[in-house]
């Protein structure tokens, strides 16, 4: 039984896993490390971690399970550092997989599992961490690595209230480009259009539709720049599809029948997915 958890990146995902795992009784102590030391100190003050350490070596030495929850661009390096320091079991919880797993190669196959909890918050930092973040959420476990470790990883997330499914990383990145990365890019893009209008005039006219549509544009800029870049091929393909569809819809503004058909098709698809 691994009872000492190390979290690299004490933000919303790392912090939530720390809270959830302790709540579930599967870890007794949580050590935190964050590239921004102030973030770990805030996590400590909030009771999200029990102690902050100042290096990955120190974190690995004091724990028997490490979760890496940092921006995608630095994930592979962080995982490698943990393994080099002697970690026996490392998980990473990023949103894009292909690039990270390619960078790691077969180095880590018997000590490492890559997962993606389909959960999160439009707020960032340990202040947004919640013990129930993964309740009734899906955690995708990448199909790479040892069967024993993948089962162990699945059991940990299940204990935190999630259900698990296994998936190939390329398929994961392709599907997430559609369900998550594209809508985030569109929400940010929409806000850049809104920014061109007079904010004071717009403010009273903002309704619940606007609030829901734009919520994801509050997400962390660094995290999402990382995600967009790491999944550039799949995301670009989806953006191009969107551009084609948008041009069609724009042309349909003057063609009632075409527009109605298109809007109906969109709503119908939504009924299936929500």
State the maximum Cα–Cα separation within the chain, in Å, rounded to a whole number: 66
Q: Using the rule CB under 8 A, is 136 a contact of its own copies?
A: no
Question: What's the closest the beta carbon of residue 88 comes to its own copies, in angstroms?
Answer: 30
Give just the sign of the alpha carbon dihedral 91, 94, 95, 98. Answer: negative
Stretch that binds its own copies, among 2-10, 81-89, 104-112, 187-195 (CB under 8 A): 187-195
Distance CA 176, CA 120 (A): 14
Stretch that binds its own copies, among 18-26, 43-51, 142-150, 172-180 (CB under 8 A): 172-180
Q: Using the rule CB under 8 A, is 267 a contact of its own copies?
A: yes
Give just the sign of the alpha carbon dihedral 12, 184, 156, 71. Answer: negative
CA within 13 Å, CB half, 197: 11
Q: Using the rule CB under 8 A, is 186 a contact of its own copies?
A: yes
Q: Using the rule CB under 8 A, is 151 a contact of its own copies?
A: no
Is the CB of 146 or the CB of 183 nearer to its own copies? 183
Look up residue 83 and give its two tokens.
Answer: 């393994």
Q: Using the rule CB under 8 A, is 242 a contact of its own copies?
A: yes
Q: Using the rule CB under 8 A, is 253 a contact of its own copies?
A: yes
Buried b (16+ CB within 10 A) or exposed e, 121-154: beebbbbbbebebbeebebbbbebbeeebbeebb
Q: Using the rule CB under 8 A, is 189 a contact of its own copies?
A: yes
Q: Using the rule CB under 8 A, is 192 a contact of its own copies?
A: yes
Q: Using the rule CB under 8 A, is 236 a contact of its own copies?
A: yes
Distance CA 79, CA 195 (A): 39
Please, which residues have CB within 8 angstroms of residue 222's CB and are 6 or more apart in sequence? 71
Neighbouring C-beta atoms of residue 96, cutoff 10 Å: 27
Q: Using the rule CB under 8 A, is 1 a contact of its own copies?
A: no
Stretch that binds its own copies, among 62-70, 96-104, 144-152, 266-274 (CB under 8 A): 266-274
Question: What's the closest the beta carbon of residue 215 comes to its own copies, in angstroms?
Answer: 5
Is the CB of 51 or the CB of 232 nearer to its own copies? 232
Q: Using the rule CB under 8 A, is 131 a contact of its own copies?
A: no
User: Within 56-75, which residues bind its own copies (CB under 8 A)?
Assistant: none
Q: Using the rule CB under 8 A, is 269 a contact of its own copies?
A: yes
User: Within 193-222, which residues bind its own copies (CB under 8 A)?
Assistant: 193-197, 199, 201-219, 221-222
Q: What is the dihedral of CA 141, 145, 146, 152, to 10 degrees?
A: -30
User: Within 83-102, which residues bind its own copies (CB under 8 A)?
Assistant: none
Binding mask 101-120 for its own copies (x = CB under 8 A): -----------------xxx
Residues in the chain: 274
User: Within 6-35, which residues bind its own copies (CB under 8 A)?
Assistant: none
Is the CB of 1 or the CB of 270 nearer to its own copies? 270
Q: Which of left, alpha, beta for 190 (phi over 0: left; psi -120 to 50: alpha)?
A: alpha
């Amino acid at each position: 039984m691994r009872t000492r958890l190390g979290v690299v990146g004490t933000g919303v995902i790392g912090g939530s896993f720390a809270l959830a795992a302790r709540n579930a009784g599967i870890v007794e102590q949580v050590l935190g490390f964050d590239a921004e030391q102030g973030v770990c100190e805030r996590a400590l003050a909030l009771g999200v971690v029990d102690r902050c350490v100042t290096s990955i070596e120190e974190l690995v030495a004091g724990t028997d399970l490490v979760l890496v929850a940092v921006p995608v661009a630095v994930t592979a390096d962080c995982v490698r550092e943990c393994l080099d320091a002697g970690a026996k079991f490392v998980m990473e919880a990023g949103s894009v997989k292909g690039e990270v797993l390619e960078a790691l190669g077969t180095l880590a196959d018997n000590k490492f599992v890559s997962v993606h909890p389909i959960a999160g918050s439009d707020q960032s930092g340990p202040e947004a961490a919640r013990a129930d973040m993964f309740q009734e959420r899906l955690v995708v476990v990448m199909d790479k690595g040892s069967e024993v470790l993948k089962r162990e990883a699945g059991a940990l997330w299940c204990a935190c209230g999630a259900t698990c499914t296994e998936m190939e990383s390329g398929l994961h990145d392709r599907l997430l480009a559609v369900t998550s990365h594209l809508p985030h890019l569109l929400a940010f893009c929409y806000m850049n259009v809104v920014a061109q209008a007079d904010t004071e005039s717009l403010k009273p006219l903002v309704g619940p539709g606007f609030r829901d549509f734009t919520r994801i544009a509050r997400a962390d800029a660094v995290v999402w720049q990382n995600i967009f870049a790491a999944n550039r091929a799949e995301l670009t393909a989806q953006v191009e599809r969107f551009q084609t569809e948008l041009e069609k819809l724009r042309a349909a503004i003057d063609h009632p029948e075409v527009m109605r058909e298109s809007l109906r098709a969109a709503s119908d698809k939504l009924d299936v997915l929500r």
